Amino acid sequence: MTETVPRRSVDRAATRRWLRDNGVHLAVAVLLLYNLLFTANFATVSNLTTQLVQVAPVIIVALGMAMVIGTEGVDLSVGSVMAIAAALLPLYLGYGIVAGVVVALAAGAACGLLNGVLVGVVRIQPIVATLALLVGGRGLAIVLVDGQIKDIRNDTLLEFGSAKALGIPLVVWLAALLAVAVGLLVRRTTYGRQLVAIGDNRSASALAGLPVRRVLIVTYVLSGVLAAVAGIVATARLTASDPSSIGNLYELSAITAVVVGGTALTGGRVRILGTVMGALLIQLIRATLIKNDLPDSIAQIVQAAIIVLAVYAQRERRAGAS
Amino acid sequence: MEAVLEARGTGKRFPGVVALSGVDLALRPGEVHALVGENGAGKSTLIKVLTGVYQPDDGTLLLGGEPVRFGRPLDAQAAGISTIYQEVNLVPLLSVARNLFLGREPRTRLGLIDTRAMDARAAELLGSLGVHADVRRPLRTLGLGTQQMVAVARAVAAEARVVVMDEPTSSLEPREVATLFDVVGRLRSQGIAVLYVSHRLDELYRICDRVTVLRDGRVVHTGPLAELPRLRLVAAMLGRDLDEVRREGSTRFDGASSVASGAPVLEATGLARRHVLDGVSLTVRPGEIVGLGGLLGAGRSETARAIAGAMAVDAGTVTVAGRPVRTGSVPAAMAAGVVMLPEDRKADGIVPGLSVRENIALAALPTLSRAGIVSRARQDAIVDRFVTRLRIKASGPDQKVGELSGGNQQKVLLARLLARNPKLLLLDEPTRGIDIGAKAEVQGLIDELAAEGLGVVLISSEFEEVVEGSDSVVVLRDGRVVATLHGAEVTEDALISALAADGD
Amino acid sequence: MTPVSPTGPAGSASPAGPPSPASPTGPAAAGAVTAVTAVTRRERAAGIVQRSGAYLVLALVVLVASLAFDSFATTGNARNIAIQSSFLAIVALGMTFVIISGGIDLSVGSVFALGGVLAAYGMRWGSLAAVLLPLAVCGAIGLLNGVLVGYGRLAPFIVTLATLLGARGLLLVITDEGSITRVMPADSLLVRLAQGSVLGLGWPVWIVVVLFALGAVVLNRTRTGQSVLAIGASRDAALLMGLPVARRTTLLYLASGLLAGLAGALAAAYSGSGVTIVGVGLELDAIAAVVIGGTLLTGGAGTIGGTLCGVLLLRVIQNVINQIGTLGSSYQSVVSGAFLVVVVVIQAYLSREQRL
């Protein structure tokens, strides 16, 4: 009798940990199953494609966010960086698709560099350092295009936004490819392992001679570049560059995806599959509510509740670890 | 005389550690009571119990003879127990007066803070302690000594019956120390009990009446300080019985001191940093183990950190194998072949969420990678080698380091350093908090490494470890080298004498 | 114009102490008995820049704008700027306290918008309901933030990011997904109050004056205010000093929610309707104003007057951009963002200097 009590509590703790780490997969599976079975017009190719296309830019931004959060940071500027990339794209498309894309990506890298220097070198807290670009970035983007919405007339780009390969849209392929690439980057490269170590224990990492500043700067640059990619994808999908709306509140979606996916805000962990699943989960919740005639507003409230719950679960993990 | 505050049979346990066990401490009105002990002796735990930060697991607290329980710091403060922490724990940007009265500001009839009354009372209070400062200025514009005095005044203003001072002089200039001692004298004459924690023996003998010595969570001595010679005090702190200093060798070190020869692997000269190091010089030859002797706060860890590049210095040079090394940069020191095992394994050593493999490979990652991709084969080769050589016990290289025992974590850290092929090892408390078996293994390993030609700097609060492990010992006090013992001079007697010697 | 408390930090910077030793490594000189200043001249100059920089820049911008544009230094334009500033000012007041305590409240923009919509919604039961309804709901959101941050110890930015989203969702529910814009009758008391003026200044401006005077008194002259400063400087130290940290923290977020709701209600009444899209990004303006006003983003120091100055600076710049005419309103946020970077870098530099 006395023995069963502790064992059961151990079981319960293990269950809780499993749920925390894999709950997102479970939730995605359950929601998917529910919708496939009960929601009308869900299990169609066109709907599933739409859902994936909608979530693709979120996933791309969330990949960068996952790395930043892995360093115990956060990047609030991603939405604005998307807007800057979207704004620059049509301005340089005249010189060809390559020029446009390169300029947009370079702008994303420059934004990331600013964030990275503020965080890594000047040592400002990440929230504040990236807030400045969140404030100013979108304004800058709108200024760049004179406040206008510019139609995209580049065929290659438009093709990229709508074309499919093996029945799956190119943008979805791109998101998947980037997820694999970031996953490999984090798991297999020197940089990736240093990133995780720095996020887990910065002091120990510095004493072990790791290039802390450089890793932080590179991480924010990558986040900026990925946000720029998402900006390009969103522009191609929209067939127009609209800096005042592109990427709006993406920082929120990306953070939610990362946190719901089991990456702790306290750093030292980058869960790529979890992040992708987190983004899918939010997309599915939205879709479920909308398909069941519940308005977007309810979806937002549900998303808010999920963020708090996810952070609360992470908090317990931290307390349990110490 | 009736004690104003007394702890009886105090016990406090943390997971895996007994921090205090059966500790008795009685503070009498108008006495300055010294509390001494080395790292981990339980001083700070005892202070936290007395001031309501921790609740004791055993024993009772008596305030004026009556049993009391402090559920939180506020309760202890209300009971007249004030604490001055080592670091000034005030609000630097608020004015002096506001800091003095934070949380208990005098108020007007409207319930607003009466700034005029507050400033006047603040000036009066500081004046009574012999401090004359503009109380309306932000605290941070004052010198550290004056800031510390404000903390003292805050403690006194609370109508304190007991004032606890935890290392109050660690950041003060000599002149400021003198002022602090004046204040302590005044408190004593007002019948206030002062619990004075310091590792500076000179200070203790200047102002303290009685002393309680803690070691390993127990009281090993208590009584009037004047009756306790310095040498005995140091011996008590270190847990050595002077009358029969054992020489049987309780460590795995072979005790034989090798004759170090060859060009020095390390020459550090004139390392200085304000309040911390005052011109420390050190030479280590290949195959030599140089112990750093000294009491807590003497500057041993700081010397190691300065050499390893983990602490910036105001002055001084570090030369490794004849080449000057840029100070204040860990990567630069590492590139030159200097690695350090940090004192605080949890905070500065392990990366708990990463595996044994990754923790070992961490510092050597660039050399284990090709084109930025970590080579699993090279990583495994080096990890296998060290797991075998250091006998690291883990369920496998994929186990998280946070789940290992302290001894195995320490071995992982040593492996991380050795994977860099260093020339000089700085070991700060390499055997602290690990079990006896692992301890012996680590000690044996240090000897082996030295025999292979590495230079080693060894810091340990365990006396026998320094004496038996080192070929020579550099003794530090107040951030200065006060003695150097070579070969046969390295004995416990000699070391204890050097530590207890009168300052200046 | 700016209600600075008589003993605010701005005042304490002026008395020139004895010349201090320039080198931080030198002996602290002159003995410990008299107050030895440990601040170098460079640091002191930097400190003055931090505390008064916003005032100087504001004065400069106003001066230049007055010379450059005939239409700038007119009574009408000044009134315009004052009323434009007032809604942001109320939000920034709550934000000032939150940031001084070392936190951040990202939800205020959404809460502001929600307050406006609720005011328009509550108008069906009269002006009193049009004020009380937003206060009740926005206060509840602030309380939720406060409890999660103060007692739950969750990171303020993520908690308030969530409530940003939640408040926006709630707003959409009330407005039928943003499709309804409720008009507030022009003859209602609240609208007349918001649009009316006395002594040449609009009522919202007077409300700002009163609230900021109160805020300055609370910060500088009450135990609550002092404990907020202490919590921001060091939460652990505040706990050791026996201050009620969790309760104060909760109170701050509650106040921030209430003020954002009030500002939203007033703004809606001023414009005559509860529009759903207002308030987007207002939290960023509020944070920018607070930081530009000299409040440390790391917490522990700040002035109420500085925040008001920061608000005015943002709104004057906006006004100037409008005066130029050829520039889009987006320049406003570019300037805010640039200001924010500069101020934050200066602050980081300063706080490193302060750690001797």
Other Cβ atoms closer than 10 A to A76: 28
Residue B39 lies in a domain: yes
Residue B112 lies in a domain: yes
| C354 alpha-carbon distance from chain centroid | 25
Residue B345 lies in a domain: no
Q: Which distant-in-sequence residues (6+ apart) come within 8 Å of B495 by Cβ?
A: B293, B463, B466, B467, B473, B475, B485
pTM: 0.81
- Look at A207 and B373 and tell me if their CB atoms are within 8 Å: no
What CATH number is attached to the domain comprising B80?
3.40.50.300
Q: How does the average pLDDT of chain A come out, rounded?
A: 85
- Look at A189 and B372 and tell me if their CB atoms are within 8 Å: yes
Q: B225 lies in which domain range?
A: 5-244
Closest residue to B146, CB basis, from C36, C217, C242: C36
Give Cα separations from C7 to A255, B132, B269, C200 (angstroms): 42, 20, 50, 30
Domain-terminating residue out of B387, B421, B455: B421
Does residue A321 register a pLDDT over 60? Answer: no
In this structure, the dihedral spanned by the alpha carbons of residues B485, B486, B487 and B492, taken in order and rounded to 10 degrees, is 0
Report the alpha-carbon distance of residue B345 to residue B414 in Å, rounded.
11
Q: Which residues from C are below 8 Å from B117, CB to CB? A: none
Q: Which residues of C touch B (CB under 8 A)?
A: 6-7, 9, 12, 15, 17, 25, 27-28, 31-39, 217, 220-223, 226-227, 229-230, 233-234, 236-237, 239-243, 296, 300-301, 354, 356
| pLDDT of amino acid B242 | 53
Chains touching A (3+ CB pairs < 8 Å)? B, C
Give phi and psi for B159, each to the nearest 5. Answer: 50, 55
Convert the pLDDT of each residue in A115-135 to its tens digit. Answer: 999 999 988 889 888 988 988
Number of folded domains in chain A?
1
* Domain match, B220 and B264 both: no
Convert the pLDDT of each residue in B44-79 to its tens digit. Answer: 889 989 988 888 999 999 998 889 988 888 788 888
Report the alpha-carbon distance of residue C345 to residue A129 in Å, rounded.
9
Give Cα separations from B427 to B303, B349, B424 (angstroms): 11, 12, 10
Q: Which residues from B are below 8 Å from A268, CB to CB? A: 351, 353
Average pLDDT rounded to a whole number, residues A275-296: 86
Domain-terminating residue out of B244, B279, B302: B244
Does residue C36 register a pLDDT over 80? Answer: no
Convert the pLDDT of each residue in C272-292 to its tens digit. Answer: 776 766 777 788 889 888 988
* Domain match, B382 and B432 both: no
Report the alpha-carbon distance of residue B20 to residue B12 in Å, rounded.
5
Convert the pLDDT of each residue in B468-494 to its tens digit. Answer: 888 899 999 888 898 888 888 888 888
Report the alpha-carbon distance of residue B317 to residue B334 in Å, rounded.
16
- Give yes or no for C297 touching A (CB within 8 A): yes
Report the alpha-carbon distance of residue A236 to residue A159 in Å, rounded.
8
- Give yes or no for B116 touching C (CB within 8 A): no
- Look at C226 and B103 and tell me if their CB atoms are within 8 Å: yes
| pLDDT of amino acid A9 | 53
- Look at C152 and A129 and tell me if their CB atoms are within 8 Å: no
3-state secondary structure of B82: strand
Average pLDDT rounded to a whole number, residues C92-113: 94
CA distance C320 to chain A (A): 16
- Look at C336 and A139 and tell me if their CB atoms are within 8 Å: yes
Residue B344 lies in a domain: no
Report the alpha-carbon distance of residue C139 to residue C161 in Å, rounded.
16
Among residues of chain B, what percentage have pLDDT more than 90? Answer: 27
Number of folded domains in chain B?
3
Residue A17 lies in a domain: no
| A159 alpha-carbon distance from chain centroid | 24
Which of the two residues, A152 and B442, has the higher pLDDT score? B442
Report the alpha-carbon distance of residue A166 to residue A12 in Å, rounded.
44
- Look at A200 and B353 and tell me if their CB atoms are within 8 Å: yes
- Look at C7 and B95 and tell me if their CB atoms are within 8 Å: yes
Q: Domain C53-354, what architecture?
A: Orthogonal Bundle (1.10)
Average pLDDT rounded to a whole number, residues C143-155: 91
> Averaging pLDDT over each range in A220-234, B76-90, B238-252, C337-351, which range is the top one?
A220-234
Residue B307 lies in a domain: yes
Q: How does the average pLDDT of chain C come out, rounded?
A: 80
- Give yes or no for A202 touching B (CB within 8 A): no
Q: A140 lies in which domain range?
A: 56-315
- Look at A205 and B362 and tell me if their CB atoms are within 8 Å: yes
| pLDDT of amino acid C292 | 84
CA distance C219 to chain A (A): 23
* Domain match, B219 and B208 both: yes
* Domain match, B257 and B121 both: no
| pLDDT of amino acid C260 | 95
Give the pLDDT band (50/70/90) at residue B259: low
CA distance C298 to chain A (A): 8
What CATH number is attached to the domain comprising A100?
1.10.3470
- Give yes or no for B221 touching C (CB within 8 A): no
* Domain match, B108 and B182 both: yes
Convert the pLDDT of each residue in B19-38 to its tens digit. Answer: 888 999 999 999 999 998 87
β pairing state of A240-241 and A168-169: unpaired
| pLDDT of amino acid A230 | 95
| pLDDT of amino acid C307 | 92
- Look at A269 and B349 and tell me if their CB atoms are within 8 Å: no
3-state helix, strand, coil in chain B (%, to 5): 35, 25, 40
Q: Residues A192, A186: contact at Cβ < 8 Å? A: yes
Q: Which residues of B467-491 are buried (b: 16+ CB within 10 A; e: fewer)?
A: bbbbbbbbbbbbbbbbbbbeeeebe
Give the pLDDT band (50/70/90) at residue C42: low
- Look at C223 and B98 and tell me if their CB atoms are within 8 Å: no
| pLDDT of amino acid C16 | 37
Report the alpha-carbon distance of residue A307 to residue B153 in Å, rounded.
46
Q: Which residues from B are below 8 Å from A201, CB to CB? A: 347-348, 350-352
Q: Transcribe B129-185 into DSSP letters.
A: TT-B--TTSBGGGB-HHHHHHHHHHHHHHTT-SEEEEESTTTT--HHHHHHHHHHHH
Which of the two residues, A312 and A107, has the higher pLDDT score? A107
Convert the pLDDT of each residue in B162-215 to its tens digit. Answer: 999 988 877 677 777 888 888 888 889 989 999 999 877 888 898 999 999 998
| pLDDT of amino acid C39 | 53
Convert the pLDDT of each residue in B268-322 to its tens digit. Answer: 999 999 878 899 999 999 989 999 988 877 888 999 999 999 999 999 999 999 8
Residue A23 lies in a domain: no
Report the alpha-carbon distance of residue A261 to residue A129 in Å, rounded.
25
